[in-house]
Homo-oligomer: A and B are copies of this chain.
């Protein structure tokens, strides 16, 4: 079966740092259900799951208001989600990495509530919702998985939203970096040294700071040997130190 095959392929790619293994992908639970389809032919599966679409840097996966057509799982690369405020100013809502899902919140509203753009050349898998009636008898299990995904998403957003309002600028930047590192580590990607594909402006927008402030704080951190910066390359040298600044204790307990 096509799906299992791919799972194995990726399972052996643990040392590869730019691409997430299927087992670490947000769609994995749902794919488990999809793969159970009894009379599933390769063509049949392909209608539901479009694997490995390539998205060029700067291209949009979808835009605010477009009709919902499917969930995307990021395979490689990275994306930003964003919307426009009054006055046409862009507000970055989040950054998304291999293993993350995009488009979840549109499931019931039938339209994407924000836009998603590739920050670098990337690839995604798409779970097409148009063809979902093909799932038939496994639809209930599919729904259960969907409920899990949605509920997780709510938890994640809750955790985030409450925090940032009260935080100072350096807390925000430190928390941003630690959070990034955690998410990459969870997916089996390199967590201490990575490329920030997004611009400083994007980071600033996301954190609710001025670009200049982000720049200054990164410099401050590098002066204190908490990290090193070479344009977009970031190397987290003293993660415990950063975690202390961010007031983050749990999460990512490696490097204890």
- A: residues with CB less than 8 A from B are 83, 85-86, 91, 93, 104-109, 113-114, 139-140, 143-144, 146-148, 150-155, 157-158, 160-166, 207-208, 247, 249
Contacts and interface: CB of A to CB of B under 8 A. Distances in A.
Given A107-B147, A147-B147, 9 more contacts: A91-B166, A93-B158, A105-B151, A105-B154, A108-B147, A108-B152, A109-B152, A143-B147, A157-B157
Given A146-B147, A249-B86, A93 B155 contact: no
A245 to B, nearest CB: 12
A86 B113 CA distance: 33
Give the oligomeric copy count.
2
A208 B166 contact: yes
Given A105-B154, A155-B105, A86 B247 contact: yes
Nearest to A139: B140
Contacts of A146: 147
Contacts of A151: 104-109, 150
A158 B91 contact: no
Contact of A207 (B86, B139, B165): B165
A15 to B, nearest CB: 32
Nearest to A150: B150
A140 B143 CA distance: 8
A128 to B, nearest CB: 17
